[in-house]
Amino acid sequence: MSQGNNNRNDVETTNTQRQRLVAGTLTCPPLELPTLLFDLLPEILCRLPVKLLVQLRCLFLTQTQLHIPSTLTNGNHGVRLICSCDGVFCGQLNNDSYFLWNPSITKFKLLPPLENHEWTSLSFGYDHFIDNYKVIVVSDENEVRVNTLGTDYWRKIEDIHCYTKYGPGIFVCGTVNWVSWDVIISLDLEKESCQELCPPDFGNENNWWNLGVLRDCLCVFAGSDEYWDVWIMKEYGNKEFWTKLYTIPTIVYAEFLQDQGLVVDQDLLVNAALYISEDDQLLVKCYQLDNNHGATLAYIKFVVYDSKTGTLNIPEFQNNYEHRDAIFYIESLISP
């Protein structure tokens, strides 16, 4: 449970110091707990020089492999981390049960069981009105259930009529968002009701688009045969505030990835932008195809695009292991 607005604001101060990219096999030992009492951290931070705090905020990213507690997995494989909010992961066990887990404080919580449905989307976000977190599941028949953290049941709310319900909805500004044909379906976590939002005006050139979060704003990744564009909505809910951040020639990515000896499928060339650093370095998650004994497999590759120079490079860390997926999270002291 969140410990109130004041405590949450203190936690958010420490949250901004370090951001981590979680990807691939979860095998390393858990992070060591700090020796100081958690309540002392805000008191220490508020006494640090402003210049030092600013420097701490400007770190790009580090990679961390996390070890899910064996008491949660019970020796089973197939555990999936699906989404995160305020340092808490929401995931799925291989028996189709769901859990919350904060690796920073090594605490987890199993969520109440769900009745038999084909639940195709799992999302997790924060409701500012009640100062609490909510888990949202959507079935393949558009049925929506909500679990408020601290309760032992799921409530049925308004159905979501959305054709893409696979994978998590995107949490931003107290809402969870999905793509549905040519509109965005937005679920307000406070009102527990839906509305439609307009995407950017792409013209007639874009073949596909999907959603993400950059700089705490809803963003759209839009691809075509010639360009890949990154848009952000600077004021949530107002279509007039869609702003294009980047336009990247598709051929730049294709040539770069092919130079790495990879098989590239144009439809899977670029899937999502994950993070923008203070110096405009854009971290991109790409899907590339590999033909192995007649079977075509999709692997994730990470690429950093420097918007100032228009160049790309592959981070060194990604050769450590095979990547399954990637989630950005902010370390926090919030207990699930």
Residue range 117-169, pLDDT digits in tens = 778 889 999 999 999 999 999 988 888 999 999 999 999 998 887 666 567 88
> For residue 66, is pLDDT > 50?
yes
Pick the CATH number of 5-330 from 2.30.29, 2.60.40, 2.120.10, 3.40.720: 2.120.10
> For residue 1, is pLDDT > 60?
no
Please report the pLDDT score of residue 173 as a whole number: 94
Please report the pLDDT score of residue 286 as a whole number: 72
Please report the pLDDT score of residue 164 as a whole number: 61
Helix (H) or strand (E) segment spanning residue 92: strand 88-92
**Residues 270/272/274/279 CA torsion (nearest 10 deg):** 50
C-alpha 310: how far from chain center: 25
- pTM equals 0.75
Span of 16-30, 195-209, 244-258, 274-288 with lowest mean pLDDT? 16-30
* pLDDT more than 90, % of the chain: 26
At 111, the pLDDT band (50, 70, 90 cuts) reads very high
At 29, the pLDDT band (50, 70, 90 cuts) reads very low
Please report the pLDDT score of residue 13 as a whole number: 44
Span of 185-189, 197-201, 284-288 with lowest mean pLDDT? 284-288
Are the CB atoms for 91 and 98 separated by under 8 Å?
Answer: yes
Please report the pLDDT score of residue 77 as a whole number: 63
Residue range 268-321, pLDDT digits in tens = 544 677 888 888 888 887 766 666 655 555 667 778 888 888 888 877 765 555
Please report the pLDDT score of residue 148 as a whole number: 96
> How many other C-beta atoms are found inside a 10 Å radius of the C-beta of residue 159?
13
Contacts by residues 153-157 (CB-CB < 8 Å, ≥ 24 positions apart):
153/112, 154/112, 154/114, 157/192, 157/193
Contacts of 99 (CB under 8 A, 6+ apart): 72, 90, 91, 92, 93, 108, 109, 110, 111
Helix (H) or strand (E) segment spanning residue 20: strand 19-23
Residue range 233-251, pLDDT digits in tens = 999 999 899 999 888 887 7
